[in-house]
Structure 1
Amino acid sequence: MALDSLDVRLLRIFVTIVEAGGFAAAQGELNLSLSTISNHISALESRLGLILCQRGRSGFRLTEEGRAVYEEAKRLFGTIDQFDIRMKGLQHRLNGTLSVGLIDNTLSDPASRLTRVFARMTDEAPEVALSIVTRPPHELLRDVITGELHIAIASFPRTTLGLEYVDLYEETQRFYCGAEHPLFSRDDSTIEIDDIRSYNLIGRSYWNARDLKIFSIANPRATVSDMEAEARLILSGRCLGYLPDHFASRYVSAGLLRPIRPDLFSYRAPFQAAFDKSRAKSGLVPFFVKLLTSEFGVAPSGRSASRLRAGR
């Protein structure tokens, strides 16, 4: 069938429903009544000649055909978004320098698609120069506030009023010990929180020991400002601390590190893009944010700071 604008609109409604988890859950985002949503999906099913989902008292569930249509629709909208970004770049002839701040040691994370984002930025806005710096997350937020950076991407220790945040992905953090540490050869089933408290723990300077809250200690034995420094101390066999699993994996494979009680001490650190919306009404920042949301497959709308998040 040949798609028209109505089909595209109905497909967007369908994708929203799937990602929300059902008709009722999608009401707020679509701003439509349940009956209107149901009518739209019925119209789409009629257009496609397929049953896309089961709905009713038993809940919402995609059919096999519905899952296939959802995946194809996502690919379609990704292509449309890329076309839209490219056209805006051509229309406005973006130029100047975009300053982006990152945290250290994220290159090995398969969930991070920043390499692809920077490639597209270079291809689709060839007159824009990139300035990329690597700093601890609290310094990145400071530099976005002062205007030194246009945008920062990290797992932030706090949220700052006046900035907008876009959720991108999550990073798994695990609690590690080195091969020379007494806990390295102990079975996880014998290790409890009280056991951990008796050893030297590493804190992150920008967290004020909040990353070690589960252990209820006043002060860590060592403090670091980046992941490489923390890894060095853990590898020494004298300290315990958190590392991203993708960063630690090479040392785990070599038998130099092991995670301790992943069931108890692991957590997911959300990564976000932070920017000053008042400085981002037009130009480079909206273009880059559109690239981020397109490449990471997330909602394009930013949100204001509202609560403290756990992370690096």
Structure 2
Amino acid sequence: MPEARGKPRAAVPVETADLRLIRIFLRVVEAGGLSAAQSDLNLALSSISEKIAALEARFGLKLCKRGRGGFSLTPAGEDFYKEAQRLVATMEQFSTRIAGLSSQLPRNLTLGIVDTIITDPLCPVAGAVALFAERAPSVHLEVITLPPGELLREVIGQKIDLAVGSFPRAVLGLDYLDLHDEPHHLYCAQGHPLFNVPDHDIGIDTVREHRIIARSYWAARDIRIFAIAAPHATVANIEAEAHLILSGAYLGHLPAHFAAQFAGRLRPLRPDLLSYAAHFQIAARQDWQDRAAIRCFIEALQQTSRDLMRR
């Protein structure tokens, strides 16, 4: 496909379909290649390649080199990238202004989140709230905290507009948009019999001899690895679990960022064997792209999440 640098040609009107292709192109460039952008775009590699090819055909430009040699922009692609950035920025500014004027925007937006994520350095909620307040200043924001399963039920029931959390099971009728992973370790506290036992002397059989906590929404995951019939205690949120662990009588999983505030009082047991990553996502009804306020907040979450992971 010939590059059009320096050759005047008829202006190509930008259509709605072009904007989606342009946004995909921007994500690919920002990620550093097609493969790196897959998880962010939630598209197959072949689909991303087809969309980039469609964008090149649409504007008559060779935008990038891709293949075994890696990904790189052509000179025309570098210019196109800069212009695309300006276009998207202008559109976002327009959307921000219209958000404050449009009577179609709802007066309220309800966000549901799981508990104790405020200490997670990759949690995008605070940054997204700041962006949303700027872009949709007339919308009243309500935030509620519930366990993951209840959040999904509330989204399905249209009692909340979107949810952020790690969801043990998917509910049909919702879209799930990836954010980040949250490491969890199995902890014991000072006073527990295992607190001073070296890791090399601790195995699953050893742990099984002690009281184990399960979260009501993740009970199967929490006890499956230990092959026990039932947990010795059940909690509905992370803070309740921390209380039991800090008693020195129980073992349980906690997010690493949350447990860090109890350094010296808590100890992770066999991270190589007993740790896992909780995958955080946005859950929203499948028509979220047609709802301006929800779309605005989801885009703010995604933008903030990308920025945090680049730091």
TM above 0.5, yes or no, is yes
Question: Which residue, 285, 295, 311 being the options, matches 2:294?
Answer: 285
Change over 3 Å in CA distance of 1:81–1:19 after alignment to 2: farther
The question of 1:256 aligning with 2:265 is answered yes
Task: Give the deviation of 1:134 after TM superposition.
Answer: 0.7
In the alignment, what sits opposite 2:210? Answer: 199
Q: Is the 8 A contact 2:185 2:253 kept in 1?
A: yes
> Which deviates the most, 203-212 or 215-224?
203-212
Q: Which amino acid aligns with 2:28?
A: T
Distance (whole Å) between structure 1 residues aligned to residue 175 and residue 71 of structure 2: 34
Match of 2:28 in 1: 16
Sort the Cα spacing of 1:251 and 1:235 in 2 relative to 1 into closer, same or farther, 3 A: same
From 210, 217, 239, the counterpart of 2:228: 217
Deviation of 1:131 (Å) = 1.1
2:210, 2:82 → 1: CA distance?
52
Query: Alignment partner for residue 28 of structure 1, among 42, 47, 51?
Result: 47
Contact persistence 2:99–2:138 (CA under 8 A): no
Q: Note if 1:118 corresponds to 2:132.
A: no
Structure 2 match to 1:306: none
Aligned CA RMSD, in angstroms, stands at 3.8
1:289 Cα deviation from its structure 2 partner: 1.5
Structure 1 CA distance for aligned equivalents of residues 164 and 251 of structure 2:
27
- Secondary structure (helix, strand or coil) at the match of 1:138 reads helix
User: In 2, distance between residues paired with 1:61 and 1:214?
Assistant: 42
Q: CA deviation at 1:278?
A: 3.9
Give unmatched runs, 5+ long, in structure 2: 6-10, 39-43
- Give 2:8's aligned residue: none
Q: What is the Cα deviation at residue 235 of structure 1? A: 0.7
| SS of aligned partner of 2:214 | strand
SS of match in other structure, 2:224: helix
Q: How far off its partner does 1:247 sit?
A: 0.4
What residue is the counterpart of 2:113 in the other structure? Answer: 102
Distance 1:14 1:156 in 2: 29
Give the Å deviation of 1:276.
1.4
TM superposition shift of 1:54: 8.5
SS in structure 2 of the partner of residue 120 of structure 1: helix
Cα distance, 1:82 vs structure 2: 4.5
Letter in 2 for 1:20: L
> Match for residue 245 of structure 1?
256
* CA distance in structure 1 between the aligned counterparts of 2:262 and 2:25, rounded to whole angstroms: 46
Equivalent in the alignment of 1:176: 187
TM-score (normalizing by structure 1):
0.75
Greater shift, 144-153 or 273-282, is seen at 273-282
Q: Per the alignment, in what secondary structure is the counterpart of residue 219 of structure 2?
A: coil
- CA distance in 2: counterparts of 1:238 and 1:135, whole angstroms: 26
Question: Is this contact kept in 2: 1:144–1:150, CA < 8 A?
Answer: yes
Return 5+ residue gaps in structure 1 as ranges: 46-52, 299-312
| TM-fit CA distance, 1:279 | 6.5
CA distance in 1, matches of 2:289, 2:33: 28
Structure 1's 44 and 133: CA in aligned 2 closer, same or farther, altered over 3 A?
A: same
Report what 1:134 is aligned to. Answer: 145
CA offsets, 1:66-88, max 9 Å, x none?
xx99x999987985674364255
Do the aligned residues in 2 keep the contact of 1:172 with 1:267 (CA within 8 Å)? Answer: yes
Residues 22 and 202 of structure 1: CA distance in aligned 2, closer, same or farther (over 3 Å): closer
Question: What's the counterpart of residue 41 of structure 2?
Answer: none
Letter in 2 for 1:60: G
Change in Cα spacing, 1:161 to 1:84, as seen in structure 2 (3 Å) is: farther
TM-score (norm 2): 0.75
| Cα shift at 1:162 | 0.6
The 3-state SS of whatever aligns with 2:290 is coil
Q: 1:123, 1:55 → 2: CA distance? A: 40
Size of the aligned set, in residue pairs, is 279
Confirm whether residue 275 of structure 1 aligns to residue 287 of structure 2.
no
